[in-house]
A = this chain, B = another copy of it.
Amino acid sequence: MQYKAEIHVTLKRTVNDPQGLAIRGGLHSLGYETVETVRAGKFIEVWLEAESSEEAERQAEQMSDQLLANPVIEDYTVSVTEASNAI
- Using CB atoms and an 8 Å cutoff, list the residues of chain A in contact with chain B: 2, 8-10, 13, 20, 23, 26-27, 30, 32, 34-50, 59, 63, 66-68, 86-87
A63-B27, A67-B27 known; A38 and B44 CB under 8 Å? yes
What is the minimal beta-carbon distance from A37 to any residue of chain B, in angstroms? 4
Report B-chain residues with C-beta under 8 Å of the C-beta of A34: 48-50, 59
Contact B23 A67 (CB under 8 A): yes
Contact A36 B49 (CB under 8 A): yes
Report B-chain residues with C-beta under 8 Å of the C-beta of A8: 43
Contact A36 B86 (CB under 8 A): yes
Contact of A38 among B13, B20, B41, B46 (CB under 8 A): B46
